[in-house]
Structure 1
Amino acid sequence: MAELAHLWKQYKEHNSKVAMDKLLMEYASLVKYIAGRMAYTLPPSVDKGDLEGAGVMGLIKAVETFDITRDIKFETYASHKIRGAILDELRALDWVPRSVRKKNRDLQRVYAHLTEDLGRAPYDDEVCEHLGISPKEYKKLLSEIAPTTILSLEEALPRRGGDSKDLKLIDTIEDVDADNPLSVLGYKEVKRILKESIQALPEKEKLVVALYHFEELTLKEIGVVLNISESRVSQIHSKTILKLRSQILTRMEQ
């Protein structure tokens, strides 16, 4: 710890390139971890090396902009920068087919419509009935749109109370620092809505959210814990993200 503190001081006070390089080496494993975790749910056509390269750029930005006087762990701060840089790379690659994007948007609209009509998140059979498809076809649809849920977490939610910046679902799921430049009122409100929405989820969906977003297990690891297949975990995760976004969007528009 003392050595790290010295490196940070050398870099921030003297702009030491040597200190910068050592800091990057110290936290390089964070890039590999985040890139590997994100790549795990992506098709083989997405090169993990490209994601790691983008993640390194995010790490560099994190080191350059981190304020050592603030009471926040660098790992927490850097994780957001790294993930953001990787997501920017994924957008640039445009790896999700338009047909899949459309299916995701259409299903999100269905969830939002049913949530508003029912005053709660819809059940699987209600979604199937609305779409006119079988449970088997519904599960297949959830599997098809699964990769898009990574980017859907980064989609902006409606602004409220004069928020100067977009509020994203990922910012409400993850433990961001109190000095986040989002409106405190807007952030706290969405955090409250999200907490209530998660608590209202069926136990298995709630557990998938907790294990994936808080405990940072992979989908495969979650499958082992719940004794279900990885593809089933992916389906549950996709459905849960659709539910949470719909709940938040519906309640914020009231």
Structure 2
Amino acid sequence: MLTAPQQPSLDDSESPAPSTAAAPLFSAKAGAGDSGSGAVGASMASKYEDVKAQTAALLRLYHQTRDPALRNRLVEINLGLVRKEAHHWRNQCDEGYDDLVQVGCIGLIQAIERFDISRGLAFSSFAMPYIRGEIQHYLRDKSPTIRIPRRWATLQRQAKKVIARLRQELGRSPSEAEVREALQLTEQEWRELQLAQQNSLLLSLDAPVQVEEDSVALGDTIPDQRYRSFQLAEEDRIRLQNALAKLEERTRQILEFVFFYDLTQKETAERLGISAVTVSRQVKKGLERLAKLLSQDIF
């Protein structure tokens, strides 16, 4: 395994660790910070700008030379992105923090390799889906479960019932505000419920759906196969939502019933007053259309 480069890290919570031959690629432990709040705030802001500037310069140089030392330096100064995501998942699984950091670094390296400087994107925004996706892929293979607080699990079940009830009463899909009001949740509680819902994989992108002779999954419409297996990275979820909004109303409604609300094609047909064959054809048509829309907007 590679050892971390010897240059001091610019990350605001990382102190340079002694180098050892058997050390992992990057250390997950954070060092002590300054105690003066004003000085710390100014120092953090300055270091953040330094990291952005150095990252941009190093990315240009790395993509010209492909020097592994430059790549390692890029990982080292952007390690805070990995630690932030590792902290998030550490509270929801049984895996060690250090292990999550090591896995997240793999995603960070992939982001470094794939980043296109000419597009003018912020590297941190580009890298986070790769870091998150790598950790999630690891957890799917390694961890038997993702822990979700009991209250949120109960609310998830209630939300599905409320959505089904409101759809029957309103004759359309209810808005988020209508569901939140029916559940008597504050906006903050609703956001927390949505996060818990995402983490518990309420929307299963790997669940196959039989379409005529083929078995397909909604996640198959996302071009990058690497990160479909656990859940969509945040940016891909946004892309999928935008693509769904561009579909014909009936096609979009059918896809939502089948993939988002776990209805069978027969149940969907009964709800909409159409045949199961029509539902099957619309699912296939919708997935093909989604694939085309999403292929036009790949990293």
TM-score, with length taken from structure 1: 0.50
Relative to its length, the structure with more helix (as a share) is 1
TM-score, with length taken from structure 2: 0.44
More relative contact order, 1 or 2 (CA 8 Å, 6+ apart): 1
Considering only CA atoms, is the larger Rg found in Structure 1 or Structure 2? 2
